[in-house]
Each structure stands twice: as C-alpha cells, then as structure tokens.
Amino acid sequence: MVSLGKEPSFSQPQPLIFDIKRHALQDGPGIRTTVFFKGCQLHCMWCQNPESIDPAPEIGFYPKSCMKSGECVTVCKTGACQTENPWRIDREKCDRCADCVEVCPGRGLRQIGRFCPVEELVSILLRDRVFYEVSGGGVTLSGGEPTLYMDYASSLLKALKKQRIHTAIETNGFFNWSEFEEKLLPWVELIMFDVKLMDSKMHLKYTGQKNHIILENLAKLIRQRPDDVIPRTPLIPDITATTENLKAISELYQSLGIKRCALLPYNPTGFSKVENIGKKVSPVLSKHMMKPEEERKCREIFSWVELVEF
Amino acid sequence: MASTTISASFTSCQDLSLREITLDSLPRLKRLRDLHFGTKPEICLELPRLMTYYMKNSGNKEDSPELRAGKMYKYILENKKPVIIDDNLLAGTTTTKQVGVVLYPHLLAQSIWPELETVSRRKKNPFGITREEIDELNFEIFPYWMNRTIQEVARKENGNPFCQRLMERVVFFIATKVYCISHTVPNYAAVVERGLLDIINEAKEKELSLGNSSDDKEKRDFYQAVQLSLNGILSYAANLSRLAASMAQKENDPVRKEELLRMSEVCSKVPAQKPTTFSEALNAVWICRVALLQENSSIAMSPGRLDQVLYPLYRRDMERGMSLSDAVELVGCLWLKICDQVPLAPEVSEELFGGSGCNQAITLGGIDMEGKDAVNDLTYVMLRATELLKVRDPNVNARYHPEVNQKEYLHRLCEVNINTGATPCFHNDRSAIEALQGQGVSLEHARDYSSVGCVEPTSSGRTFGHTGCILMNLPSALELAFFQGKHRLTEDEPIGPETKAPKDITSFEEFKEVLATQLAWLIDQAVTLNNNFGRAYQKIHPSPMQSALMEGCMQKGKDVIQGGALYNSSGAAMIGIAEVVDCMTAIEEFVFKKEAVSFSELLEAINKNWEGYEKLQAMVKTSTEKFGADSEMAKKNADWLIGFLHNTFQGKENYRGGKYTVGYWTMTNHAGFGVLSGALPSGRKKGEPFPSGITPVSGSAPVLTACLSFVAHLDHTHIADGHALNLKYTPSTTTSPKFAHTIEAFFKMGGLQVQFNIIDRKTFEDARKHPEKYPDLFVRVSGYSAYFKDLNPQMQQEIITRAEYHLDTGKEVRY
C-alpha cells in the first residue's frame, strides 16, 4: 500500500501496467481498449481487480495452469514456493523476485504488472484503431487508479489525442485537483467517476479512505465539464446498494445538476482473483448475483436521471 | 394475419425486422416446418430407377455423351412422378418423399450398399427404406452401375493411378467429384426474365445455323441435348399442372381448392413462359431446381441472389396489393422446399464427416453490377423468413459492402444472427469482388457474385467452378515433411518424395523448402485426380440443363463440363491452415530461434503423443506466437503458406482449361481429418480436431480484435475460393450495435468472411446429452449450417470448445 496521507500531493513517477484489455465493450462508448494501471490509494473490499491495488509487481498463481512440475520450488531462494501449499506461495516469505515465473512451464505462475514505455503502449493501443473509428470507441485508462501517475497518464493521453483517439478515464476521484486539472483534464473526453458511499465513516471502513476529497473533486469536475462526467456507483449488497446510501447519492446528483450517471451491477464471480494473489475474499460480501428485482429497486431511485449503460 | 400493404418500398417507413409477421400469423409455414422436423428422411429410388431403366433399355450406344444425357433427362423428367405432398404453395418435389435422400447411381450411391439392411436403424441420421427397395437396389440398380461410376470409369481410363489410390487412404485429400460436381449458381435470372421456351428456341436456332464440320456436329449434339432436356422440364411442369387440377376437383375445402387451381394454372405457364407474378417466379425457379437436382447432386447447388433475381416481380405484386405477410409466406415455402432432400452418408463417412446439410447457398444484399446498394425490400422479407424458419438449408449468406450498404442493414443481419443463433454469415463485398477480379472475372460480373456451398464467391450464373473439388488435409504434408515422405499412419511405406531428414535441417528456411516440396507433390496428386474425374464426367455425365442455365454455354455450343461456361475455375479447400501455421511457428521459434529443443527431440515428443514431454508441450502451447494472435512470426508464416498454396494451385490447369483457386473452409472435415492425424509440434495431441476453416486453434486467439486483424491482414486475392472464419459469441439479451461494429471494422481492414454461433454453452452441453430435446438446434459448422444433434461427437466437441467471446463484455470466454 502506498500511504498518501490526508492531503495527497500524489503522483508516482512510473506506473506498472497489469493488463491491456482490447475489445472492451463496457468501459465507455464503442469498442475500446482499456489500460489497467497498478496501484490504488483505496482498497475497496469488493475490488474487481484486487491485483490492481498494490503498485509493486506481484506474483499470481493460477492453479488450473499449474502442471506440478516443481520447477518453482527448485529455483525459489526464500523457500516461499511450496509444492504442498494449494496456493503454492507462502506470501510471508516471498520477496517477489519472479524467478519462479521464469521457469514455470505452464504459465501457472505469472508476474502481475510490467513497466511499459508510453510509445510502446501507444503502439499497442493503435492496433485497434479501425475498431475505435467504426464504433465511436477509443481508449480508457483504468486500474488501479490512473491519476496516481499524473505525468505518465498525461503523456499517454496527449499521445492518444495527437492520434485523434477518443480518451476516457475511470477514476476513484481521490486525486489532487489542480494537478488533475492541469495534467489530465485537457486531454480526456470522458470521466467515469466513482461515487461509492456518502457516509464518510462507512467510506473509510470499506475503502480505506474518507470521501471528502472525492466529493469535492466531483463538484469541481461537474462545474467545469458537466457533459463529460459519468458518476458511477458499484452496487454492493448491504454496503453501497442500500436505499439510504443510494438516496443520498441521488440527492447529491440532484444538487449538482447531474444529467447522467451509471450503476454497476454486482458481480461476485470476479472476486476469485483475490485468491490468485494469496488473499481471501471478505466474508462480508454476498456470493450471489443481485436479483433483478433488487437491481430494479436501486434503479428506481435514479429514475429521474439518465442511467448510462455501455 | 398481418396485412400491411404499401405501394412502393417499406424500408423507408417500416420496421425492418417485420416483427408483426410471425409463425403464428403464418400457420402454413408453422405446419410445414413441424412436418419437416417430424419426418424421418427416406431413401428415394425414383431417380436411380429411371436412370438405370433408360441406360439398360433405351440408350443408343452410338449417341455422344451430350445427346445421351439430353435424351435421358427428357425421359427422366417425363416419367418423374408429379407430387404435391403437402400444402406448400410451390408444386413439385425433388424426390417422391416428404424428405427424401436422392441416390445418384453414377456417383457414390453404392457406398450405402453394404448398409442397406441397417441404414434405417442406425443411431445417427437414419434413413427409411423398404424391403422391396432394398431388393431393387441389390439386384437391379447397383449391379448395373458397379463399373459405371465416375470413380470406376476414371480408375479404368487411367489404369488405377497412384493419385486415386492415395485418395483412398483418406488422410491426404478427398477429390469430391466422386459424389458431386454441383458447386455452382444456375442462371435463374434467365428462367425469370426469359422462360425456358425462349432458351429452347435459341438452342434450335443455333442448331439450325450449324454446318457439317466435326466441331459443328458436337455443337449440334449439345444444342439438341439442351432442347431435349428442357422439354423434359416442360413435361414435368405439365404433369404437375394436371395433378393440381385433378386434386382440385376432389378437394372439398374451397380455400385449398382455389390454391390448387391456381397452382395448376401457374404450372401450365411456367417455367415455359416468362413468369409475370412473384408466385409464378418462385414456382418457375423451384421447378427448374427440381430438374437440376435430377441431373446433379444438391450438394452446394446454390440458388444464389434470389433477392435480386426475384425483386422486379416482388415489386410488381406489392404494387398490386400483395401483403408483406404473403411475401414472407411464399419465400418461406421456397425455403422449406429447398430442404426437401438430404444428402446420403454411409456410416463410416457419417462418423468422420457426418451431419452436413446440402449447403444450398442463398445470397442476400451487397451491391449490384453498377456498384450501387442492392439491398431491397425483398432482402428483408427473405431475412424474416430465415429468422422464422431456422432451417439449416438454405444456407443464408449476407453480403455487405462497408462503403455502400446502409448500417441499418448490417444491424438487421446481426439481429437475425442473434435470433437464429447461427445464420446468416457475413461476406465482405469489397474483398470478395477483388478476389474474383484477381481471377480474371470482370468488375461487373464480380460484383454479381453469390456464395456457393459454404462460402465460395462465384459470379452468378456465369462460373462453372466446382468450388469444392479438392479437400486437402494440410497437416498431412507436414507429416511427409517430418518423416521423409512417410506418414505415421502408413508406417514404413514411403509415400511422398524423400526429403531431407529433420535432424539434418539447419535452418527454418530449409525446413520451409522441405515442406514446400511435399505440398507441391500432394497438390500435384490431387489436381491430377480431379482432372481424371473431370474427364470421366466428360465421358459419361454432361449436364445439358445446367449448361442451358449458364452464361457462355449457349454461345460456345458447349456443355459446362467441356468448358462452356464464361468462367471455368476449380476450387480447392485447405483444411488445418491455422494448425500448420502454428506448427511452423513453433518450429521456427523453439528449434531455430531459441534453440530450446532440437528438431529430433520435438519429433520424438510428437511420436510419443507428448507423453513424457509435457513441459515441452506446455512451452509450445503457451507461446503467444500463434495464428490469430499479435504475432508477426505467425503472420509471416501464414502469408508464406497461403501465398505458396495460391501460386502452386494457380499454376495448374483444370480439364476445362480453367485455373485452380484456393479456399479455407472445412465443413466437418477438420474434425474427421483430425481424428486420423497424429500429435503435432503445435502442442496438439493425436486425434484432436483441427481448427475449422481459417479459424485459430481454440485458446490461441484470446483477443477478438487481434484475431480479426490477423485474418483481415491475409491477402484475400490469394483466397479466391473463400474462407470461413468461425467464431462464437456467448448470447446476450441485448442487441448491442457493437456486434455490427466489430464486423464493420473487420471488413474495413479487408476481412473476407466471418460467421458466428451465438448459443449458450449450457444449451450445447444439454443438447449433447439429450439430442431428442433439440431437434432443430442448428449451428454454423464451417461455412454451412447443421443440426447439432446430427454432428458426430468430435465435431460437437469442436464447436463447444471453439474460440468464444462475450457479446456484452467482449472478453474471451474460457471454460
């Protein structure tokens, strides 16, 4: 975890990228490529990309691909790789040297997060240019938290704009406003902005940070770019998807004059990724999809505003 | 019944999906569809009986092949039983059965001989047959044809040549002329715009203008054959007309009586005269089709661009008050007629290659000969009929020109694909037209292409281009290259040329030379055999009716089999392209670039089916240098291989003076050939199905856009015989425009063809366990559609594990 304190001055120099998802259909308009930055100041309990939180490289273990060759145990210098361990790696002992990844024959062990120079990343993103053009798509920066790497993200967005590629960002909203305004805002066309919990204590409890910076940033953003912001709320049963919380969010939107927003349906199938990096799914989280009826109730609260779905 | 009547075009003002027209609003179609699915196909002896009788008793031994054929088809059609078997609005049937199996005695009919006693009881695709019919085949029909089939005539003429014995080993290639030559689109425009009498008169005039040279004598026989056989069609139509009239007399229901009277009237007019209504035109096309199917097998005998050919009369009738609902019903009647027969398949081939329909391809939309948007109201009517009926035949192919056609049209195609799960498939006009132009087809004629059989573009009514004459197992050439001309199945016996042993090969370039040597040799064998078979057809089986409905033949005075058509290509389909490219790339990467394994060790590993070499196998399999991925190495190898195959085939001439073109579509052969093939350096184990068509190996193309970019990158002018890119989508409840955008981008990049199954894996799994619950679950196999229950287990498995992407999220779906 990166500790950033209350008034973050932010911005790490170089991000690791942990995934580049091409043919992404739900991260903004059209067909897109989504770039996932590694590292986040929040650690939401329900995070769909748990491997995105820690900014440092991690080793993932994927049991389906493991051939039980034992090569990892042989090369491991710290004794972290253990054949009898169903999750292969004792995370306490592991120093993340990735020697085991090198020798693993079936790609059961993989390194999560690699540095990728901007030019190289842009060349990958341009591969799908025709798909963006016909569909009104483009590139979305996601994570993790892209605003954690303002300079890198800024040069990436500039390079994309130079190529006339539509740009979007998915952010947790926890950033230094002036830096964001200067380095990212001029180059980004759509901002998908997470609004999770209105109660600050709850926010702290479930995400590891309070929410006042986030809410202030949202207000500023709406003032400057009212048409380019889509605030989004992940529906987490009994946590964010309570009538009380959603009503409070809805009232906030009304007061800010928001015209469109999004609700992200709950999907517990993604949680299994936590286990690949040696962590456990929080028992607080429901294991079931939301019933259509429950989801409909949540939507009703926002019936006055356009609910965007990609 | 919905009865929206409008004077001109509805597409500007109405729902393109024609949602108000349903099977419930068209009870006739619903009834006929139920009847189709509820009927066990029966073997029909009518054609072989008539053919045998004519050949035994009436044939004049002095007649030239053309004249004999003309007389024989006249006899057959005069004596063909007129049948009106249900309340379909079109008269006549291919066989005498509700759903029949035609036996073509000069083709592979005898392959069913050993199974006559069991064919009605076999588990997969049983066919009904009676005791008397079995005896008739046993004693009357099959014995006569034993030495008179294409296969045996060619064998005798050429002294049982090596190439024919090579085919009989099954693992190298199949030359399909032994069971059909019908991959073509007849010129139905002539039937609709002129009528058969006009063509008969033309033949007569041409005949009368001939002199006495030997060349003119041959032409005279041809023109006479055309007149004789077309007159046979007119007799058949007259018989149908009489039957309808007599049925009308006995009919009590006034509505049905009226229908039968009208049918009688229609059949007394068409196809002799040029039709003047939409219903007459459909009847004319259907009657001609029935006749053509007596002459040649229905396999890949493709009706072509019916939305273009029939549009003027459709338009005329709409202006006179025909409702859209009536139009959908009429089109539906034709669709259900087209599937009134199924191909014959003996048990062995059922096991390896079974489940295929007849691949009778209809082509919709695209651009016209002037390059303008050709999508019309009838296109949408035909799409609605397709969407409602969900039958495997006709195989519906949609053309789309990314610069000319409307986006709404593409969206509608996607909607039909989602609603049917498997049809239509999508062709890119721009690439297909360029590919045909590369074969010397004029721009106008190229623009008027139809898909034949699976996916093969051919100029409609102008190309006689048996587009599926060779099905080649590409990985078998790899085998020969690895084992110095030997094949593991045939063990120590040398087959191909003895090339350098892999242990002595020092560079990847050198390996490519070895592979090229084996490929060239194999191509030579296949082409020689196809040409032998073609000459056997010239000797015993000209096609006067097909020739009358093919531009060029009447002008030249030549049958299609003699090269009468305007364009005369032959098409060869390659099976296993992605597998071979992955093997080549694995050899390049691991043997020569990284030197991670020696060639000998790699071959040892595949000889042991990777047992004891699991780590090596995993290394090869997890490599990202694959066909369908972002791999420059694989792209370069694919370009080389596709270029080599194109150039080698183009260098060969067929027996009609035309060229060979190459395609990448596989029907079910990729599963069949896979069963017969050993482990390969791509990491594939023995017996696994090869990937279908031009589709990547399952698991090798995790990113859909990368996969589409890879295939689009391939030079489509080297793929003039078409390709089938088979992909699968997890269904979604929404019709996102992003589906259409994906296709649009693929076409803008130059992709030639793509097709999707959009069916849930759970449905497939359940259908595998309980086939009885899913009689009509149909899927795209590799170019054509099939009923899932009819497919053999390895083919079902291949479809289930085929590369799949989620329609909502776009992600690869792995299980």
Chain A hits for B737, CB-CB cut-off 8 Å, are 135
Please state the three-class secondary structure of A114-162 as a single string: ECCCHHHHHHHHHHHHHHHHHHCCEEEEEECCHHHHHHHHHHHHHHHHH
Q: Is the pLDDT of residue B7 over 50?
A: no
Kind and range of the H or E run holding B364: strand B361-365
**Domain of A260: which CATH number?**
3.20.20.70
Encoded tokens for B203:
């033949």
Measuring CA to CA, how many Å separate A243 from each of A212, A239, A240, A262, B251? 21, 10, 9, 16, 69
Structure-derived torsion over alpha carbons of residues B323, B327, B332, B338, reported in degrees to the nearest 10: 160
User: Which of B709, B741, B744 lies nearest to residue A127, judging by beta carbons?
Assistant: B709
Instruction: Provide the pLDDT for residue A243.
Output: 97
- Mutation to test the A interface, candidates B620, B741, B814, most A Cβ within 10 Å: B741
Q: What is the pLDDT of residues B117-163, one digit of tens each?
A: 999 998 888 999 999 999 999 999 999 999 999 999 999 999 999 99
Cα separation, B186 vs B192, in Å, equals 12
Cα separation, B278 vs B259, in Å, equals 15
Which residue, B749, B742, B745, B725, is CA-closest to B806? B742
Q: Is the pLDDT of residue B748 over 80?
A: yes
Instruction: Provide the pLDDT for residue B803.
Output: 82
Inter-residue contact B383 to B412 (CB < 8 Å) = yes
**Residues B716-726, mean pLDDT to the nearest whole number:** 97
Residue A139, domain member (yes or no): yes
Among positive and negative, which fits the CA dihedral B460, B464, B467, B468? positive
Do A202 and A281 lie in one domain? The reply is yes
Cα separation, B521 vs B494, in Å, equals 13
Chain B hits for A137, CB-CB cut-off 8 Å, are 741
Which residue, B511, B640, B526, is CA-closest to B581? B640
Report the length, in residues, of chain A.
310
Q: What is the pLDDT of residues A118-168, one digit of tens each?
A: 999 999 999 999 999 999 999 999 999 999 999 999 999 999 999 999 999
- Of A97-101, A282-286, B659-663, B694-698, the poorest mean pLDDT is in A282-286
Other CB atoms within 10 A of residue B509 CB = 10
| Count of domains observed in chain A | 2
- What residues does B653 pair with on adjacent strands? B659
Encoded tokens for B766:
């359940």
Do A95 and A123 lie in one domain? The reply is no
CATH number listed for the domain at residues B470-806 = 3.20.70.20
Is A294 at the interface with chain B, CB within 8 A?
no
- Mutation to test the B interface, candidates A21, A22, A32, A102, most B Cβ within 10 Å: A22
Structure-derived torsion over alpha carbons of residues B49, B51, B53, B54, reported in degrees to the nearest 10: 160
Instruction: Provide the pLDDT for residue B83.
Output: 97
Chain A hits for B810, CB-CB cut-off 8 Å, are 23-26, 31
Q: Is the pLDDT of residue B1 over 60?
A: no
Residue A41, domain member (yes or no): yes
Chain A hits for B742, CB-CB cut-off 8 Å, are 23, 31, 131, 135
Which residues in B have their CB inside 8 Å of a CB on A?
614-615, 618-619, 622, 630, 703-706, 709, 736-738, 741-742, 744-745, 748-749, 805, 808-811
Instruction: Provide the pLDDT for residue B579.
Output: 98
Encoded tokens for B495:
């087959």
Do A68 and A193 lie in one domain? The reply is no
Do A198 and A99 lie in one domain? The reply is no
Domain ranges of chain B: 27-160+188-294, 470-806
Residue A7, domain member (yes or no): no
Which residue, B813, B803, B89, B179, is CA-closest to B533? B179
- What is the SS3 assignment for B719? coil
Say if the Cβ atoms of A26 and B745 lie within 8 Å.
no
Which residue, A182, A175, A168, is CA-closest to A228? A168
Do A249 and A299 lie in one domain? The reply is yes
Do A132 and A34 lie in one domain? The reply is yes
Do A128 and A275 lie in one domain? The reply is yes
Q: In sequence order, what DSSP letters do the residues of B774-796 get, joined into one string?
A: -TT-EEE-SSSEEEGGGS-HHHH
Instruction: Provide the pLDDT for residue B11.
Output: 60
Do A129 and A188 lie in one domain? The reply is yes
User: How close B307 comes to chain A (CA, Å)?
Assistant: 28
Measuring CA to CA, how many Å separate B12 from each of B20, B313, B367, B410, B641? 17, 20, 18, 15, 47
Q: Is the pLDDT of residue B3 over 80?
A: no
Residue A10, domain member (yes or no): no
Encoded tokens for B122:
């076999």
Q: What is the pLDDT of residues B358-368, one digit of tens each?
A: 889 999 999 99
Which residue, B75, B57, B55, is CA-closest to B65? B55
* Phi/psi-derived region of residue B807, left when phi > 0, alpha when psi is between -120 and 50, beta in every other case: alpha
Chain B hits for A21, CB-CB cut-off 8 Å, are 811
Chain B hits for A26, CB-CB cut-off 8 Å, are 808-810
Inter-residue contact B80 to B96 (CB < 8 Å) = no
- Of A130-134, A248-252, B84-88, B771-775, the poorest mean pLDDT is in B771-775
Do A72 and A128 lie in one domain? The reply is no
Domain carrying residue A96: 61-112
- What is the SS3 assignment for B572? strand
The set of residues, in sequence order, having a beta carbon less than 8 Å from that of A3 and lying 6+ positions away, is: none
**Residues B662-680, mean pLDDT to the nearest whole number:** 92
Instruction: Provide the pLDDT for residue B13.
Output: 53
| Confidence class for position B348, pLDDT limits 50, 70, 90 | confident
Cα separation, B690 vs B668, in Å, equals 10
- Of B11-25, B278-292, B297-311, B664-678, the poorest mean pLDDT is in B11-25
User: Which of A26, A106, A128 lies nearest to residue B705, judging by beta carbons?
Assistant: A128
Do A39 and A70 lie in one domain? The reply is no
Residue A5, domain member (yes or no): no
Residue A4, domain member (yes or no): no
- Of A48-62, B433-447, B507-521, the poorest mean pLDDT is in A48-62
Say if the Cβ atoms of A25 and B738 lie within 8 Å.
yes
Q: Is the pLDDT of residue B536 over 50?
A: yes
User: How close B613 comes to chain A (CA, Å)?
Assistant: 11
| Confidence class for position A6, pLDDT limits 50, 70, 90 | very low
Other CB atoms within 10 A of residue B270 CB = 29
Cα separation, B589 vs B592, in Å, equals 6
Cα separation, B326 vs B26, in Å, equals 9
Which residue, B391, B216, B321, is CA-closest to B786? B391
Instruction: Provide the pLDDT for residue B9.
Output: 66
**Domain of A74: which CATH number?**
3.30.70
Is A102 at the interface with chain B, CB within 8 A?
no
Q: What is the pLDDT of residues B474-495, one digit of tens each?
A: 999 999 999 999 998 877 788 9
- What is the SS3 assignment for B607? helix
Encoded tokens for A185:
């805002």
Q: What is the pLDDT of residues B207-247, one digit of tens each?
A: 999 999 999 999 999 999 999 999 999 999 999 999 999 99
Cα separation, B453 vs B24, in Å, equals 31
Inter-residue contact B646 to B718 (CB < 8 Å) = yes
Which residue, B40, B179, B39, is CA-closest to B123? B40
Burial group, residue A214, by CB count within 10 angstroms (0-12, 13-18, 19+): buried
Say if the Cβ atoms of B744 and A134 lie within 8 Å.
yes
Cα separation, B230 vs B578, in Å, equals 46
| Confidence class for position B808, pLDDT limits 50, 70, 90 | confident
Which residue, B153, B218, B51, is CA-closest to B540? B153
Q: In sequence order, what DSSP letters do the residues of B126-193 get, joined into one string?
A: --B--HHHHHHIIIIIHHHHTTTSHHHHHHHHTTS-HHHHHHTTSSSEEEGGGT----B---HHHHHH
Cα separation, B478 vs A56, in Å, equals 46
Q: What are phi and psi of B64, to 5 degrees?
A: -70, 160
Cα separation, B558 vs B217, in Å, equals 11
Chain B hits for A65, CB-CB cut-off 8 Å, are 622
As a whole number, the mean pLDDT across chain B is: 94
Cα separation, A291 vs A270, in Å, equals 17
Q: Of A45, A77, A112, which residue constitutes the final position of a domain?
A: A112
Instruction: Provide the pLDDT for residue A282.
Output: 87
- What residues does B664 pair with on adjacent strands? B723
Cα separation, B94 vs B92, in Å, equals 7
Side chain identity at residue B520, one-letter code: A
Inter-residue contact B649 to B526 (CB < 8 Å) = no
Cα separation, A223 vs B784, in Å, equals 56
Do A208 and A165 lie in one domain? The reply is yes
Instruction: Provide the pLDDT for residue A214.
Output: 98
| Confidence class for position A1, pLDDT limits 50, 70, 90 | very low
pTM to 2 decimals? 0.95
**Residues B74-102, mean pLDDT to the nearest whole number:** 97
Side chain identity at residue B443, one-letter code: L
- Of A265-269, B117-121, B264-268, the poorest mean pLDDT is in A265-269
| Confidence class for position B2, pLDDT limits 50, 70, 90 | very low
Q: What is the pLDDT of residues A157-208, one digit of tens each?
A: 999 999 999 999 999 999 999 999 999 999 999 999 999 999 999 999 999 9
Residue A3, domain member (yes or no): no
Residue showing tokens 């056989």: B229
Do A186 and A210 lie in one domain? The reply is yes
Chain A hits for B809, CB-CB cut-off 8 Å, are 24-26
Q: What angle do CA B12, B16, B18 make, to 5 degrees?
A: 125
Say if the Cβ atoms of B741 and A130 lie within 8 Å.
no
- Of A42-51, A67-76, B647-656, B780-789, the poorest mean pLDDT is in B780-789
Please state the three-class secondary structure of B22-62 as a single string: CCCCCHHHHHHHHHHHHCCCEEECHHHHHHHHHHHHHCCCC
Which residue, A93, A69, A89, A70, is CA-closest to A81? A89
Q: Is the pLDDT of residue A7 over 60?
A: no
